Chain A
Amino acid sequence: MTTMSSAEPTRRDFLYIATGVVGAVGAAAAVWPLIAQMNPDASTIAAGAPIEVDLAPIAEGQVIKVVWRGNPIFISHRTQKEIEEARAVDVGSLPDPQSDQQRVKQGHDQWLVLVGICTHLGCVPLTRQGDYNGFFCPCHGSHYDTSGRIRRGPAPANLPLPPYEFVADSKIRIG
């Protein structure tokens, strides 16, 4: 092989590789909008903006449901007995160890705010039912206590807490 003929394939290969790489980059860029269009659109995101809930009308012992981002949010006005039950448990013995204090806002111990979706497969639990008088998922029999913690059944984790804060003593903003 002469130097000329060995240099030639190299330059040719470079051209082929460059063309292939640019083509691949272009194809990848073209795929992106097709993927991104399936994410929530701007109006869905905007509609998921924080909502405010007035807690004043909720009587002690009552649980209400509000909808945020299409999901049920449980707001429970717990009785003193329910709070005591939730706090009497040995945290270390729980499947998903969490103290009741970690699950409520300090100074607002009677208010439990949960995403009302079973952590097993997404059913909505019944309120004030089950072995622990908290929440009970009828789909596959998960029992949650008065703090929304999983106690028995197939669910792997406690009912999640949505992001929220108290804007006044009896008003919360979810989101």
Chain B
Amino acid sequence: MSGHSTYQPQSRFMQWFERRLPIVSFMHASFVAYPTPRNLNYWWTFGGILSLMLAIQIVTGIVLAMHYTPHVDHAFVSVETIMRDVNYGWLLRYLHANGASMFFLAAYIHMFRGMYYGSYKDPREVLWILGVILLFLMIATGFMGYVLPWGQMSFWAAKVITSLFGAIPVVGDSIVTWLWGGYSVGNPTLNRFYSLHYLLPFVIAGVVILHVWALHEVGQNNPTGVEPKSDKETVPFTPYATVKDSFLMVVFLILLAWFVFYLPNYLGHADNYIPANPLVTPAHIVPEWYYLPFYAILRAIPSKLGGVIALGASIVILAFLPWLDTSRVRSAAYRPLYRQFFWIFVLVCIGLGWLGAKPAEGGYVIAARFLTAWYFLHFLVILPILGLIEKPKPLPNSISEAVLREGVPIGAPAPAPSGTKH
């Protein structure tokens, strides 16, 4: 990446500094001179949006931690103290809670974009796998954060999710006891979840650095899936990508603000405003919306161990995507069949999410089983076979050719989503 830098220190001090710590030229190479394909569309801005959301979550989280008390007797009241007494406490907490939702929304869009345009394919496999690791860390962090307010949903989420580990043969029960730090979910559990919830975001930030490093090593994919062939097909990251990312970041913040200020509890659960009660389980235990597809997969399997395995496999399988997809063409723009199956897969995920919120009974279970089967078939059967039988459309020789031919396929920089909900 340093190869792209045109940075020349001007002042004597900067020259002196550069010889000792070349961080300025490093930043310049990574975030100013770094060449990005000129035909990226707005779906490519979600990496930047995710960085912003991570920053918002860490900053609001650090200040919330100044007021929160991780103790079963005080956690619920300390959260309410934040809401009622701390200056702007309600704003910080609602930002953090809804920020988590928007973080996942952006992550899912980012992933689907990668799937649509084949961004996981050679040479970007490690980049993609780091992304799967980030998703896993986000899931763990979000779950532990949800436990902290110590409402009914917090408590029962902690109980149900930790009990998953009880499915492990032989040592399962010992592991669950170890996770709890007791014979039930209690104060030791809350306290360690708080500690880990504070730690993991910094681990995420570390993996994000690796993710960006890997990205800058191999360069960005683009809507054609054809690698840039000359400098004419790229533009420097700054100002082109920075201003474009900034625009979409602010548009995304409008969405976040809509929920924070006008619907702050829409994405949460009423039951979590009831203090945790270890003796009474709420009628419907439902995770946050962003876990619902995985939750539906868990419940679709009529065996404890099987459900847990399916749940884990549904995430782990993503890491094998670069090898399960046998097609040598990256972008769905040139893969007519894959494009259909991609959208079916999106619908399957949304369908699983919807079913995850429904009680596990009757037709819902049958539908969840069908969609769970499809979810795995998509990766294990459809993708390997599609690559072999599909006749891709002719690829352009270069990005420039694609741009000249019909504007950019699919990914033409769409007109800005102006005039939002106001």
Direct chain A–B contact by Cβ atoms under 8 Å: yes
Q: Footprint of B on A, CB under 8 Å? A: 23, 33-34, 36-39, 41-44
In the complex, residue of chain B having the shortest beta-carbon distance to the beta carbon of A31: B59
Are A41 and B85 in touch, CB under 8 angstroms? yes
B88 touches which of A23, A33, A43, A44 (Cβ 8 Å) = A33
- Per-residue 0/1 for B62-91: is the Cβ within 8 Å of any A Cβ (1 yes, 0 no)? 010011000000000000010011111101
Kindly provide the distance from the CB of B165 to the nearest chain A CB, expressed in whole angstroms.
37
Q: Can you list 16 A-B pairs, Cβ within 8 angstroms, ordered by A?
A: A23-B246, A33-B88, A33-B91, A34-B92, A37-B86, A37-B87, A37-B89, A38-B66, A39-B87, A41-B81, A41-B87, A41-B89, A42-B85, A42-B86, A43-B84, A43-B85
Are A36 and B85 in touch, CB under 8 angstroms? no
| Interface secondary structure of A, over-half rule | helix
Q: Give B251-300 interface residues, CB cut-off 8 Å to A.
A: none
B92 touches which of A37, A39, A43, A44 (Cβ 8 Å) = A37
In the complex, which residues of chain B have a beta carbon less than 8 angstroms from the beta carbon of A38? 63, 66
| A-B pairs, 6 with minimum CB distance | A33-B88, A41-B85, A42-B85, A36-B87, A43-B85, A41-B86
In the complex, which residues of chain A have a beta carbon less than 8 angstroms from the beta carbon of B63? 34, 37-38
In the complex, which residues of chain B have a beta carbon less than 8 angstroms from the beta carbon of A37? 63, 66-67, 86-89, 92
In the complex, which residues of chain A have a beta carbon less than 8 angstroms from the beta carbon of B85? 41-44
In the complex, which residues of chain B have a beta carbon less than 8 angstroms from the beta carbon of A42? 84-87
State the CA gap A42–B63 with chains docked (Å). 17
- Per-residue 0/1 for B86-124: is the Cβ within 8 Å of any A Cβ (1 yes, 0 no)? 111101100000000000000000000000000000000
Are B87 and A33 in touch, CB under 8 angstroms? yes
In the complex, which residues of chain B have a beta carbon less than 8 angstroms from the beta carbon of A36? 87-88
In the complex, which residues of chain A have a beta carbon less than 8 angstroms from the beta carbon of B84? 42-43
Kindly provide the distance from the CB of A35 to the nearest chain B CB, expressed in whole angstroms.
9
A33 touches which of B66, B67, B92, B246 (Cβ 8 Å) = B92
State the CA gap A38–B246 with chains docked (Å). 29
Q: Give B16-68 interface residues, CB cut-off 8 Å to A.
A: 59, 63, 66-67
In the complex, which residues of chain A have a beta carbon less than 8 angstroms from the beta carbon of B92? 33-34, 37
| Interface-centre pick from B59, B85, B91, B246 (highest chain A CB count, 10 A) | B85
| Interface-centre pick from B66, B85, B86, B88 (highest chain A CB count, 10 A) | B86
Are B59 and A34 in touch, CB under 8 angstroms? yes
In the complex, which residues of chain B have a beta carbon less than 8 angstroms from the beta carbon of A43? 81, 84-85
Given pairs A42-B84, A44-B85, 10 additional interface contacts (CB within 8 A): A23-B246, A34-B59, A34-B92, A36-B87, A37-B63, A37-B86, A37-B88, A39-B87, A41-B89, A43-B81
In the complex, residue of chain B having the shortest beta-carbon distance to the beta carbon of A36: B87
| Interface-centre pick from B81, B87, B92 (highest chain A CB count, 10 A) | B87
Kindly provide the distance from the CB of B280 to the nearest chain A CB, expressed in whole angstroms.
30
In the complex, residue of chain B having the shortest beta-carbon distance to the beta carbon of A45: B85
